[in-house]
Each structure stands twice: as structure tokens, then as C-alpha cells.
Homo-oligomer: A and B are copies of this chain.
Amino acid sequence: MGSSAEPATAAVVVIGNEILSGRTVDANLPYLARELNALGIRLREARFVPDDEAMIVEAVNACRQRWAYVFTTGGIGPTHDDITAAAVARAFNRRLVRHPEAERRLRAYYPPERLNEARLKMADMPEGAELIDNPVSVAPGFRIENVYVLAGIPRVAQAMFEGIRRTLAGGPPIVSASVLLFAPEGEIAAPLAALQKRFPDVEIGSYPFFRFDRPGTSIVLRGTDRTRLEEALTCLRNIAAELGIDTAEEAAASGTRQE
């Protein structure tokens, strides 16, 4: 994980009927995508599954065998539809057991008359799981091998991630730069493709837009070698100048930025 030859990779598994029913708009994937990339960890896929044990098992197993890190969000609360811990235990073929330290934290937090079996269920985890602190609402997440099980509520998921961030082995930081070309995508596709061929180590993304009443294309360059990125950016500006295409800086960025 995180060697300079092979950047660290990750997948996100978002768990919950409420996302797929359209009731709730997920906020965890955008957060994790930004944060992981900032750590030099490439997010390679995301899967959204309902509160369905077989589907959670399948998604977790597919992702954990393929990517360095897997982050799940959702389904670790006290109610009947919170089945993530049991599903992850099944994915690893491990028993679901009550984690003593998780139980201790719940007992320390809740007055005895409020600590019912439903709340204690939040201490049930796959055997051998390591706790992920929850500074917001106590009930911890957990890690088992390369799978990190986080809460679904965004501020809890984010607080959990903040706590584990320093333990993640990132690859070389991914640097990006972007520039706006005031030409439609279709008119710069050929020189862009040629540029991509010349810079196979720089990922060149092309995203059409309409701004200031003009059609244009936002070009995003990403890679791990800032010098190569700057070279590609210079080539791109030269191409635009030769074609008589106006350029501008991406509004959200000031030149080269690190995502």
C-alpha cells in the first residue's frame, strides 16, 4: 500500500435504503473522495447498496480484495435496519461478538436505565475488529483488515475519518491543475487527445460548461509529478494560443492546486 510505484487505492461502499429511494442525498462520497485524494489515495470505485445483507457482503468482498482501503458508511445504529456490522462479519467469515471496549464506552455514556439491548447492539462487531473513535455520539465504528466501517450521519462519519486519517498510508500526493478554454469540447478534442498521448502519466479530463454565456471546456490535469503537470499545462496553453482560444483560470482555483 502506498508505494511510489503503485498509488494507494480505495473504494467507498455507501449503505442505506434512504439513498437509493431518493429520500436522502448522500454527502459521504463527496467528502471521502476529496479527503482520500488529498492523502494521495486514489478512490477507484464506489458502490451504493441497500440495507440488504447479501448485497453488503458482496460489495465489501468485491472491494476489499481489489483495493487497498475500503470505507463503508451507514447502518451501524441501534435499529432493525442497521445490519452493517453483521454483514461485514459475514463477509469476513467471522463471528459477530460484543466488543468489550465498545460496550464499556456505551455503558459509560448512557445512564443504566437507558442502556437497552438495542443500544448495546452497537457494540456488536466482527471478532478481532479494532475500534474507530466516535467523538460525536460515542458508539464507535470499527476496522477489520482493510475495511473501515463508518457511521452514515455525515458529521459522525467525518469525525471518525478525522480520527483515522493519520493511520492511512497515502501514495505520492495527487496534484491537479485546471484551466478553462473558451471553446466547445468538440473543437479541441483532437489536440487534447494528442496531448494525452504525449503525457500518458498525466490524467487529462475534459468537462464542458456554459459560463459567462459562452460554451467552454474545463480541462483538469492530474498526476503525481508536478513538473510533468506544469509541462502539460504549458503545452495546453500553447495549443489554445495557436488556435486563438481564450483561456481563464478555474474560478475555484488559483492556478495549480492540490486536491
State whether the Cβ of A189 lies closer than 8 Å to any Cβ in chain B: yes
Contacts of A81 in B (CB 8 A): 196, 204-206
Chain A facing B: main interface SS:
mixed
Look across to chain B and name the residue whose beta carbon is closest to the beta carbon of A222: B21
Cβ contact of A189, chosen from B35, B37, B118, B259, cutoff 8 A: B118
State whether the Cβ of A105 lies closer than 8 Å to any Cβ in chain B: no
Contacts of A47 in B (CB 8 A): 45-48
Give the contact stretch, choosing among A26-34, A91-99, A142-150, A240-248. Answer: A26-34
- With A30-B25, A153-B208 in contact, is A192–B80 under 8 Å at CB? yes
Inter-subunit contact B22/A34 (CB<8 Å): yes
Copy tally for this chain in the complex stands at 2
1/0 contact string of A22-63 vs chain B (CB within 8 Å) = 111110011001111110001111111111000100000000
Contacts of A174 in B (CB 8 A): 21
Inter-subunit contact B37/A21 (CB<8 Å): yes
Inter-subunit contact A24/B117 (CB<8 Å): no
Within 8 A of B (CB), among A55-98: 55, 77-82
Cβ contact of A18, chosen from B121, B192, B220, cutoff 8 A: B220
Inter-subunit contact A117/B22 (CB<8 Å): no
1/0 contact string of A90-128 vs chain B (CB within 8 Å) = 000000000000000000001000101111011000000
Inter-subunit contact B185/A220 (CB<8 Å): no
State whether the Cβ of A20 lies closer than 8 Å to any Cβ in chain B: yes
State whether the Cβ of A193 lies closer than 8 Å to any Cβ in chain B: yes
- With A20-B33, A203-B17, A220-B18 in contact, is A187–B116 under 8 Å at CB? yes
Contacts of A185 in B (CB 8 A): 77-79, 118
State whether the Cβ of A251 lies closer than 8 Å to any Cβ in chain B: no
Inter-subunit contact A207/B18 (CB<8 Å): yes
1/0 contact string of A210-236 vs chain B (CB within 8 Å) = 000000000010100000000000000
A192 vs B81: C-alpha distance when bound (angstroms): 10
